[in-house]
C-alpha cells in the first residue's frame, strides 16, 4: 500500500478549507507510523494510552499525538507530558484529572469535550445539555492547566447519510452556540472534530475542521 499517496489524496480533497487530518494508527505498529511521518505527516491518533506511549517512545518527538479514545482517569498521567490534544473528555472528573496531571507536567493541555451525538447508547460522551451545564459552570475557567478548544463527536454507524448529516449539523450548531456564548474573543476555541473514514466528507461539509481517518490510509484493522 502507498501510504504517502493516500495521505496526499485525502489532504487534496480538503481543498482550501483548513482541515486537520489526524491519521489514526491504532493497532498498526510504529514502522507504519514512521512511513506516514516520512511522507511529511505529523498528526496521529490513538485510542489506547499504552499504545500511544509505546509508539511515542520510539518515534520522533515532533509528532502531534491525539488521544481519540475513551480515557481512564488513572492513565492520564502517562500521556500528560506529551499529548497534543485530547478529543475524548467525557466527564468533569476526567477534565479535573487532566488539569491535575498537566500541572504536574508543567503544561497546559488542549482538550475537546466529546459529545454523544449518535443513536447508539454504547458510545461515550456528554449530552447536549451536559455540555451546556459544564460550560455554564465556572469549572472550565477555574482550571489553569487545561484549555477547552472545542467539541468532538461520532455519528451513528449507519448507511443513512441523512441521519449522519443531521447529527453532524446538530453538533456544529452546539459548537457555534457555545463559542458565541462563552468563548467569544478566545480564538483557541476553534476545533470541531468529527468524521472518520466512512463519513469524513459529510463531516467537512457540515463544518468539521478535524477529521480522524484510519482505514482509508492504512487499510482495515
Ligand atoms: C478508530 C477511530 C477512528 C478512525 O476510524 P476509521 O473508520 O478507521 O477511519 C476515528 N475516531 C475514533 C474515535 C476511533 O476510535
Q: Which residues contact 55 (CB under 8 A, 6 or more apart)?
A: 25, 29, 30, 33, 44, 46
138 CA distance to ligand 1 centroid (A)?
A: 32
pLDDT for the residue numbered 35: 97
**Best residue for ligand 1 mutational test, from 28, 47, 171 (most atoms within 8 Å of Cβ):** 47
Distance, in Å, from the CA atom of 67 to the CA atom of 50, rounded to the nearest integer, reads 11
State the distance between the two ends of the chain, measured CA to CA, in whole angstroms.
14
What atom in ligand 1 is closest to the CA of residue 24?
A: 4
Q: What is the per-residue pLDDT across 144-188, written as a single tens digit (0 to 9) for each?
A: 999 999 999 999 999 999 999 999 999 999 999 999 999 999 999
Cβ(67) – ligand 1 distance below 6 Å: no
Cβ(101) – ligand 1 distance below 6 Å: no
Closest CA to ligand 1's atom 12: 68
Instruction: Give the angle subtended at the CA of 182 by the CAs of 194 and 132, to the nearest 5°.
Output: 65
80 is written with which cell numbers? Answer: 500528560
Q: Please provide the DSSP assignment of 162-203 as one string.
A: HHHHHHHHHHHHHHHHHHHHH-TT-TT--EEEE--TTTHHHH
pLDDT for the residue numbered 122: 66
| 8 A C-beta contact, residue 75 and residue 114 | no
Q: Which residue stretches of 39-111 are H helix? A: 49-58, 76-79, 92-104
Q: What is the per-residue pLDDT across 35-46, written as a single tens digit (0 to 9) for each?
A: 999 999 999 999
What atom in ligand 1 is closest to the CA of residue 212?
A: 10
Separation of CA 166 from chain center: 20
Sign of CA dihedral 28, 31, 33, 36: negative
CA dihedral 60, 64, 19, 96 (to 10 degrees): 170
Which residue stretches of the chain have pLDDT < 70? 1, 122-123
Distance, in Å, from the CA atom of 219 to the CA atom of 213, rounded to the nearest integer, reads 10
Distance, in Å, from the CA atom of 156 to the CA atom of 199, rounded to the nearest integer, reads 10
Instruction: Give the angle subtended at the CA of 89 by the CAs of 86 and 93, to the nearest 5°.
Output: 125
Cβ(26) – ligand 1 distance below 6 Å: yes
pLDDT for the residue numbered 1: 62
Amino acid at each position: 500500500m502507498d501510504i504517502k499517496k493516500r495521505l496526499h489524496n485525502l489532504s487534496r480533497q480538503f481543498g482550501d478549507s483548513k482541515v486537520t487530518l489526524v491519521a489514526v494508527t491504532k493497532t498498526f505498529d510504529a514502522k507504519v507510523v514512521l512511513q506516514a511521518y516520512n511522507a511529511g505527516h505529523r498528526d496521529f491518533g490513538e485510542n489506547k494510552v499504552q499504545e500511544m506511549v509505546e509508539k511515542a517512545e520510539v518515534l520522533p518527538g515532533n509528532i502531534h499525538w491525539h488521544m481519540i479514545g475513551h480515557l481512564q482517569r488513572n492513565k492520564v498521567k502517562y500521556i500528560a507530558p506529551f499529548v497534543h490534544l485530547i478529543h475524548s473528555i467525557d466527564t468533569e472528573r476526567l477534565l479535573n484529572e487532566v488539569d491535575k496531571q498537566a500541572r504536574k507536567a508543567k503544561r497546559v493541555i488542549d482538550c475537546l469535550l466529546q459529545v454523544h451525538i449518535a443513536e447508539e447508547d454504547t458510545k461515550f460522551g456528554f449530552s447536549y445539555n451536559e455540555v451546556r451545564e459544564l460550560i455554564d459552570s465556572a469549572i472550565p475557567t477555574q482550571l489553569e492547566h487545561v484549555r477547552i478548544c472545542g467539541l468532538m463527536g461520532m455519528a451513528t454507524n449507519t448507511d443513512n447519510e441523512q441521519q449522519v448529516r443531521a447529527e453532524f449539523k446538530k453538533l456544529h450548531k452546539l459548537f457555534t452556540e457555545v463559542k458565541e456564548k462563552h468563548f467569544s474573543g478566545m480564538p483557541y476555541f476553534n476545533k470541531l472534530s468529527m468524521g472518520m473514514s466512512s463519513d469524513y466528507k459529510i463531516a467537512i461539509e457540515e463544518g468539521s475542521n478535524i477529521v480522524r481517518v484510519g482505514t482509508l490510509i492504512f487499510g482495515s484493522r
